[in-house]
Amino acid sequence: MHTKVNQSTAKLWDLLDSLKLPDDEYSNHTFFRPLVVHKSSPKYDYANELIESFVARSNTKQRGAKQLAEFKRHWQYMLMNLCSVSFQRRWLLVSLDKTAYSNDDWLKLHGLSYGLTKEIVSYLVTTGMIELKLGKRYENNPARTRLFPTPKLANMLYSLFYFIEEEINPPYIRINEGEGSWTDTICSLSDDHPEVIEMTTINEFLKGHSWACKAPVRLVYKSNAFNGGRLSTPFQNLPDRKVRIRINTLIDEQSICEVDFNANHLRLNLAFRAKENAGDTPYEDIGEIAGISNRNQIKRFITVAMGASDETGGYGSLYAEGFNKAYVRRIHDAALKRFPKLQLFKGWGVYAQNFEGQILKDVMLQGVKKDIVCLPVHDAVAVQQQHQAWAKEVMLETWERHMDGVKTKVKVDSPRLNCD
């Protein structure tokens, strides 16, 4: 039983085992989450024994039954998070600032203790179980303490990867930086609001299925209900460029593929604003006009130009990445020559994310009706390989319906590891 899961875990760990520490940068940081291994899991006994062994070795104080249970709960969260980040290739953010535990709503919600967290981190550092980078109190940009497991700890944890999950519970809709009254509006949506019903339907369906980094799928707005609005879940944070982890994971113990909208922000912009089809190869078309064969550089320019709110900021970002002014200008001019109605440097990215969220939510709801698990990955969905044809058809039809008949393109990514 679970042979394929065990084989998959071992092969994924082989990909990761020899890698250096992840870069300590914002995109490689992730927050502490309330992760568990359920009692029904085949790995529950191992996880419980491991947690209890750490509790026994680190418990140097006289604790009553209630205090000991709290200590164990903190150890569970810490170890399960460290296992998860070892596959996500991200540093785990924890707070060692005592005042945060009385001011931070998330820490208070989950009943996390400064004293217990500090005690556990100190033990892990002393025993060589984690790499630690201490946080700093910068006035405008404070940095939390970051942790990453050493091989000594990671080798104890990695077999739990597929069995660690975050409980799937509401709220399933949130807003990050609400303008005006938008935070209160989004956070107080009634149970019969259409989006609450849709997100609840998706998450209730997903409870009965298994996948790596299992957690709720949430609809996340940025500042208002028209700004941002992508679907978010930790599965999408698994690495898939330098090291191909995500695409080689399983859904319900079956290999997956990812069906991805091609050049999606560019296509959405042209479809929504001009009812224009971008053709089969928009990046290559721009590159041909610019005399540039590097598709990735064309794609990067479009990504930045779609997201930036003005040309000065967008160009500055590209210069910081090594593009020179003349090169950027060539791509810019070529893009507008090929697509004169394309809107660049107007902050389109957050509006495109709104469309993406609505389209993928629609696709996932159609999956629920067919008993097909779809996991959102920004502008793509992951499904079992046997559902690839269904996903392609539904994604194309759904995008066309949302964009008033304008057509789009999708591409398929398949796994490289054989776990049969």
Domain ranges of the chain: 3-165, 168-264+349-413, 279-338
Alpha carbon distance 375, 232 (integer Å): 9
DSSP alpha helix (H) spans, 165-221: 182-187, 194-206
* Per-residue tens of pLDDT for the chain, all 420 residues: 478 899 999 999 998 988 899 999 888 999 989 999 999 999 999 999 999 999 999 998 889 999 999 999 999 999 999 999 999 999 999 988 888 888 777 777 788 899 999 999 999 999 999 999 988 654 455 578 999 999 999 999 999 999 999 999 999 999 887 777 888 888 888 999 999 999 999 999 999 999 999 999 999 998 888 788 999 999 999 999 889 999 999 999 999 999 999 999 999 999 999 999 999 999 999 999 999 999 999 999 999 999 999 999 999 999 999 999 999 999 999 999 999 999 999 999 999 999 999 999 999 999 999 999 999 999 999 999 999 999 999 999 999 999 999 999 999 999 877 655
Residue pair 331/286 in contact by the 8 Å Cβ criterion = yes
Residue pair 75/51 in contact by the 8 Å Cβ criterion = yes
Coil/strand/helix, residue 135: coil
Residue pair 210/162 in contact by the 8 Å Cβ criterion = yes
Query: What pLDDT score does 222 carry?
Result: 86
| Amino acid sitting at position 267 | R
DSSP alpha helix (H) spans, 89-211: 100-103, 105-109, 114-126, 151-157, 182-187, 194-206
Alpha carbon distance 98, 386 (integer Å): 50
Nearest 5°: phi and psi at 89?
A: 60, 50
**Any idea which fold 168-264+349-413 has?**
Alpha-Beta Plaits (3.30.70)
| Amino acid sitting at position 50 | L
- Kindly report the length of the chain: 420
CA distances from 230 to 25, 30, 356 (A): 23, 18, 6
Query: What pLDDT score does 139 carry?
Result: 46
pTM, 2 dp: 0.92
What is the 8-class DSSP label of residue 42? Answer: T
Query: What pLDDT score does 419 carry?
Result: 59
Query: What pLDDT score does 142 carry?
Result: 59
Residues in contact with 64: Cβ distance below 8 Å, sequence separation at least 6, in sequence order: none
Q: Which two tokens stand for residue 85?
A: 């980040």
Nearest to 164 by CA among 93, 258, 235: 235
Handedness of CA 319, 322, 328, 334 (dihedral sign): negative
